[in-house]
Structure 1
Amino acid sequence: MDLVNDSDFDLTDDIVLATYIAGCACVAYVETYMTKVPMHTNIQTGYEWVQYILNGNEQKCRNIFRMSSHVFRQLCNTLRTQYGYNGTKRVCVEESVAMTLVVLGHALGNRVVQDRFQHSGETVHRQVATVVTLLATVMAPDIIKPADRTFRNVPEHIQHSNRYWPHFKGCIGAIDGVHVEVVVPVDEQHPYRVRKGIITTNCMCACDFDMKFTFACVGWEGSAHDTRIFLSCLNNESANFPKPPPRNYYLVDSGYPMKQGFLAPYKGERGTYGRSEGGHYDAMADVISMLDEAEMREVRNNITASICS
C-alpha cells in the first residue's frame, strides 16, 4: 500500500480564511434570523403613551410636549381639518405630532424616540420630517402674520393705558432677537458658535401687543449680528416682513439701528429708572407724563417728526 504524504493534507491559508469567514457568516445568520430577540417589546405602545400624557397631569404634559393638552389637541385637529394631514396607516396624527414635539423640545436622538414610541428609525425620521415641513412651510405663514397689515387700529393695550397713551399711539409692536441652542455637524459649527462657546442660531421675531408673533426669521448663524439680520429682513422682499406704515413704528432692541419706523432705546442710558420695571420705555412715558399739556404736545410732535420724517 502506498503511503500518503502528509503534505497532501496541508491546508493553505486561503482555505483556512475562507472557512473562518463562512463560519462567522453562519453564526451571524443564526443570531440575526433564527435566535433574534425582538427590539420593540414595550407593552405600552407609542399611541397609548401619548394618551397617558394628554389625560394625566397638566404640568407633566407641558414638561413633555412644551404645551398644554388642549393646545396639543387643537394643533392636531388643525393639521387634520385645515391642512389635510391624517398621519399614516400605522401612525396617527397625535403620535406623529408627539414625536416631533419630543424631538424639538428635548433634542432627543432617533434611537431614544424609537424606544419610546415603539417604531423603527425610518418611521420616526419620516414622521418628524413630515410634521416639521408642514409646520414650517405651510402652517407658519398662515399664523405668524399681523391681523391687519395696514395697522389702522391702535392697539387696545396702548389705548387703555394712562402710561402709554397717547405717547405711543403709533407703536404697532416690538422686535427682538433670541439665540436658540441647536445641534450642528462638527465641521459646520464655527459660524454658529457665539462668544459664550455654545452653538446657537440667531432668530429675529416681532410681536404685537396681544403677545402674538407677527414675524419670525430663523436659521441665521449664532455669530450673525442682530443688525445684519434686521437689514436683511427689511431689504429682502421675499422675507415678507410687515413694514410699518407712515407714522407708525416698532419698538426695537438696542442691538438694532434707529431709523424711520423703528424706535430704539437711547444709547448710553440704563435700562431701569427708579422703581420702574418696564425699562427705558416705561421711564420715558413717566417723564413725558410729568410735562404739562403744551410741553407734552411739543415733545410728542418732535418724537413723531424724528421717526416719520
Structure 2
Amino acid sequence: MAMVIKSRKRKRHGHTPVEQIRYAPIDERDRRRFEYLNDKIWKNDVTCVNMLRLNRASFFHFCKLFRDRGLLEDTTHMCVEQQVVMFLHTIGHNVRNRVVATNFGRSGETVSRYFNKVLHAIGELRNDFIKPPSSATPSKIQGNPRWDPYFKDCIGAIDGTHIRASVPKEMEAAFRGRKSYTTQNVMAAVYFDLRFTFVIAGWEGTAHDASILRDALERPNGLRVPEGKFYLVDAGYGAKPGFLPPYRGVRYHLNEWGSNPV
C-alpha cells in the first residue's frame, strides 16, 4: 500500500495548493529486510554468533525480555528483534553508523535513534545482571585443600580493561594511554561463577587503576566490600583492607595455573 501525505490546501493570501507527496510501497522493503535477517543473521547458530555474538536462543530470549518488561516495543516498520540486531551488530564488530544503515536498509538517523533506545533498555536491566557478591564461601573454594581456608573469604576478582572510545580531538591526549588509540579504562568485579558484581566505566585511558578503585569506593552507590571479605586484585590497585594483590617480588608462572581446571 502506498503512503500518501496529504497537504492542506491554502487559498488565502495567494497560496496555491501543494501537490500531494507520494512514497513508494514499503511492504517490499520490509520483506527484503527480513530476508536479510533470515539469511545473514538467523540462518543458524554459527552465523548468528558470528554476527551478533549470541546464539539464536539467547538472542530471542533477550528480545522477549525487553518486550515483556516494556523496555522496547515494536513499531510499524521496526520490530524489537530488528532494533536489537542492529545494536548487537554495532557493538560486536565496532562498525560505524553508515555501515549498519547500509546493511540493514535504514537511514543513519534511524540506526542512531534505535541504538540509543536499546542502550537505555540494557541499562534498565542492570539490577538483573549485576548483583552483589554472596557472603558465603564459594563452592569452588570450600573443601578444596589447595584454596581452603586461605581464600574462604574471597568474594571475587577485580581488574580493568581498556575499551576503545571516540572522544573530541581536544580530549584525545587524556584517553590515549597504553594503546595507540583512545580508550576508556573500565573496572569490573567478577564473582567465581563469572557473574559481574560491579562495573565502573568512563574513566580516561590514562587513568591509574588505583584512582578508579578509589572513585568506586567513594561513590554513594559504589563498590562495597562486606566485613571480613576481600577481592583479588592486581598490583596496580595496591594492598588495602578488602583487596589482596599478588606478593611483590614473587614470580607467578602461567604453566602452573593456566591448565588448572579449578
Return the TM-score normalized by structure 1.
Answer: 0.70
Deviation, 1:147, is 5.6
Which residue number corresponds to residue 224 of structure 1? 207
If each structure's helix is expressed as a fraction of its own residues, which one has the higher value? 1
Return the match for 1:182 from 159, 165, 173. Answer: 165
Which residue number corresponds to residue 124 of structure 1? 111
Which residue number corresponds to residue 257 of structure 2? 277
Q: Map 1:161-176 to 2 at 5 A.
A: 161-176=144-159
Partner AA of 1:101 in structure 2: L
2:120 counterpart of 1:133: yes
Q: Deviations over 1:17-64 (max 9, x none)?
A: xxxxxxxxxxxxxxxx9xxxxxxx979633332233454232221121
Percent of aligned pairs with the same residue? 37
Deviation, 1:226, is 0.5
The Cα RMSD (Å) is 2.7
2:233 counterpart of 1:246: no
Q: Map 1:1-309 to 2 at 5 A.
A: 45-136=32-123, 138-146=124-132, 148=134, 151=135, 153-238=136-221, 240-241=222-223, 243-272=224-253, 275-278=255-258
Q: Distance in 1 between matches of 2:96 and 2:120?
A: 18
Q: Distance in 2 between matches of 1:130 and 1:223?
A: 30
CA contact 2:41–2:51 (8 Å) conserved in 1: no
Residue 160 and residue 51 in structure 1: after superposition, are their counterparts in 2 closer, same or farther (change >3 A)?
Answer: farther
Q: Distance in 2 between matches of 1:158 and 1:83?
A: 40
Q: Distance in 2 between matches of 1:53 and 1:213?
A: 31
Deviation, 1:186, is 2.6
Q: Deviations over 1:234-259 (max 9, x none)?
A: 11113x32x22222111111111111
Q: Deviations over 1:199-253 (max 9, x none)?
A: 1110000010111111111111101110000000011113x32x22222111111
Total equivalences in the alignment: 238
Deviation, 1:174, is 0.5
CA contact 1:45–1:117 (8 Å) conserved in 2: no
CA contact 1:250–1:261 (8 Å) conserved in 2: yes
CA contact 1:46–1:116 (8 Å) conserved in 2: no
CA contact 1:50–1:94 (8 Å) conserved in 2: no
Deviation, 1:102, is 1.3
Partner AA of 2:235 in structure 1: S
Partner AA of 1:74 in structure 2: H
Partner AA of 2:132 in structure 1: P
Say which one has the larger Rg: 1
Which residue number corresponds to residue 22 of structure 1? none
246-255 vs 186-195, greater mean Cα deviation: 186-195
Helix, strand or coil for the counterpart of 1:189?
helix
Deviation, 1:160, is 4.6
Q: Distance in 2 between matches of 1:49 and 1:187?
A: 40
Q: Distance in 1 between matches of 2:47 and 2:143?
A: 37
CA contact 2:129–2:195 (8 Å) conserved in 1: no
Partner AA of 1:251 in structure 2: L
Residue 43 and residue 248 in structure 1: after superposition, are their counterparts in 2 closer, same or farther (change >3 A)?
Answer: closer
CA contact 2:175–2:183 (8 Å) conserved in 1: yes
Which residues of structure 2 form unaligned runs of 5+? 1-20, 22-27
